[in-house]
Amino acid sequence: MRKQAIYLVCVLCGLAAWLAAPVWAEESEDGSFTGEFSIGYRSVSVDGTENKYKEDINLDDGPRLFGLRMEWVPSLGLRSKVDRISVDVSNFGGDPFETFGLKVQKYGRYDFDYRRTESDYFYQDIILPPELGSASLSNAGDFHHFDFRRVRDLASFKYRFNDRARFDVGFERFTKRGESTTTLDIQRDEFELDKPVHESFDELQLAFQYAWPKVTLTLEERVRNYQNDVEIFLPGSSPGENTTNLARLDFFLLDQPYEYDSNQHTVRLTAKPTDRWIIQAAGSVQSLDLDIAASEDSRGIGFNGQPFVTDLTGGGEIERDVDFFDVDVTYLVNDRFAVVGSARRYSLDQEGVFFFGTARNEGVWEIDTTGFEAGLQYNLSATVTLGAGVRTESRDVTFGSVEGSGEVELEDETTDQTGFYANVAWRPSKQFELTADVEDSSYDDPFALVSPTDRQRYQLKARYKRDNGFFFDGSYALRSYENSDSGWDSDYDQLTARSVTRRKTCTPRWVTR
């Protein structure tokens, strides 16, 4: 009912805008109001497994607004404030994927963009009822169920003060709400429990850019907040999935919500002091604080036939600091030859502690990575470009953990990487491009035995685009890995191809001027 009401409101608004368009046209000598819409009614009849239908298709019957696009270009008298307002709606009225978009633009001054997407997810794969299934044979199906809705709101506002200065602000909100079930092993038995879905993520983005004749400076700020109200409980009582033992659960509640706040500060600099030098540098500092609380309360009969009760509380926190700095330098020797180089520094410091009842765990991670790269680029002709270079990287890892009340004992590991790369690009025309890349790297003392000591990558890409809307993009990649310490090797190849044809279609359209 709620979705149909929203649908009716949307249709009425669209019809009202349509009817008002001639009035607007009369009031504005050269303004225009254009748009198109597609409405209909879907009839659905499901014969068979309804859950499988909801997993794969999940289309309900009823009226739908399949698509609505409206654009208003005001008269000259109003264009000092706004040049264009557009609205875009698709799959509105109850479909599992709905979108809404609004754009307001003043060319050369500001650009406002808002988009909302909603999607439903459903999963329930039960083969047999629990009382007919066997826990040891696992023939009853999957007792993990999901039924939730995801909503994402994206809003951005870009304002240009003049040719040199601009300010951007963006906001993102993501929510996930619904129901799910999970299983836990308790008293040597498996119990199906309810787990409501309640997640949210918010991010605020701010950026300011100022361009001097030879230097461009950009300042960025990001603030994030994430919350997950993790709660697992048993509705009523349950004998469990294994009916051959004595275990029974009369009450169970696990409450484990957690939340983190994160801040990121970034500075970017692009400089071209002369016609031959190009310098790009960036630095970022990020911090994250995570807090978690936990409590568990349960009662029932154990596997040995004796009553049991649990009443546990706990909590913890994690603090993380991340720093990243890099610089890229290009020197143009002449019109064909260039020397390139880069340096980067990455560091991560993280400490965390968690306790639950009498158990306690603490961990420390410190990762410092430093890398350098130097190479040459040569334009063999107007259509062929060659490139080659060397890379080196060193990573120092300090880590440790402890269970209980003892002190954390730290260990140190250092991994050095060296290698080279080469590439060639052929662009005979604006429509066609072919590139080939090769990379070879070796690792001294990798952090884990599953990590390679040698790695090779070969890749070929092709891209073709025509003016009639046809587009093709394909690639083939071959990757080889080897670890001489543990004696394993692996080869992996991947072929991808994508073809798109964009054509203008004739659709019902109404225009007023």
182-220 pLDDT tens trace: 999 999 898 989 999 999 999 999 999 999 999 999 999
For the chain, list residues with pLDDT below 70.
1-30, 128-140, 502-513
For residue 378, the model assigns a pLDDT of: 95
Read off the tokens for 61. Answer: 């019957």
Return contacts of 267-275, CB within 8 angstroms, 24+ apart: 267/217, 267/218, 267/219, 267/220, 268/217, 268/218, 268/220, 269/215, 269/216, 269/217, 269/218, 270/215, 270/216, 271/214, 271/215, 271/216, 272/214, 272/215, 273/214, 275/332
Contact 479, 493 (CB under 8 A): yes
| Stretch (H or E) spanning 218 | strand 215-228
What's the confidence (pLDDT) of residue 510?
A: 44
Position 59 scores a pLDDT of 87
CA pair distance 18, 106, nearest whole angstrom? 23
Report d(CA 431, CA 471) in Å as an integer.
9
Q: What are phi and psi of 253, to 5 degrees?
A: -145, 120
d(CA 268, CA 241): 58
How many helices and strands (H and E) does the chain possess? Answer: 2, 24
Of 213, 229, 219, residue with least CA distance to 273: 213
Amino acid identity for residue 264 in this structure: Q
* Coil vs helix vs strand at 491: strand
Please report the sign of the dihedral spanned by the C-alpha atoms of residue 47, residue 49, residue 55, residue 61: positive
Using alpha carbons, list the distances in angstroms from residue 33 to 84, 90, 105, 373, 429. 10, 19, 15, 55, 40
Helix/strand/coil for 447: coil
**What pLDDT, on a 0 to 100 scale, did the predictor assign at position 140?**
67
Residue 27: what pLDDT? 41
Closest CA to 130 of 180, 189, 178, 187: 189
Around 455, how many Cα atoms within 13 Å sit in the side-chain half-sphere?
16
Q: What is the pLDDT of residue 470?
A: 87
Listing DSSP states for 76-123 in one string gives: TTTTTT-SEEEEEEEEETT-SEEEEEEEEEETTTEEEEEEEEEEEEEE
| Partners of 198 in beta bridges | 177
Taking Cα atoms as reference points, which of 466, 474, 374, 387 lies closest to residue 423?
387
So what's the pLDDT on residue 143?
Answer: 80
Looking from the CA of 401 toward its CB, the CA atoms found within 13 Å total: 10
Tell me the C-alpha distance between 399 and 201, whole Å: 30
In 337-383, where do the E strands start and end?
337-356, 359-379
**Structural domains present in the chain:** 1-103 (no CATH), 124-261+292-317 (no CATH), 369-513 (2.40.160.40)
- Residue 14, helix vs strand vs coil: helix
Q: What is the pLDDT of residue 347?
A: 97
Question: What is the reported pTM?
Answer: 0.81
pLDDT for the residue 35: 87
Structure tokens at 276: 């031959």
Question: CA dist 26 to 29, 32, 412, Å?
Answer: 7, 10, 77
Cα(214)–Cα(208) distance, integer angstroms? 17
Three-state DSSP state, 25: helix
Distances (CA, A) of 428 to 50, 262, 383, 463: 55, 47, 5, 12
Enter the tokens of residue 178.
Answer: 């619904």
List the beta strands (DSSP E) in 230-306.
231-233, 248-255, 258-271, 277-301
Tokens 């850019």 sit on residue: 209
Strand partners, 168: 158, 207
User: What would the two tokens of residue 68 be?
Assistant: 């609505």
Distance, CA of 297 to CA of 254 (rounded, Å): 7
Q: Show the CA angle centred on residue 145, arms to residues 238 and 298, nearest 5°.
A: 35
Beta-bridge mates of residue 321: 287, 349
Strand duo 231-233 + 248-255: pairing: antiparallel
* Strand, coil or helix: 17: helix
Please list, in sequence order, all residues whose beta carbon lies within 8 angstroms of the beta carbon of residue 364, skipping any fewer than 6 positions away. 350, 351, 398, 399, 400, 401, 408, 410
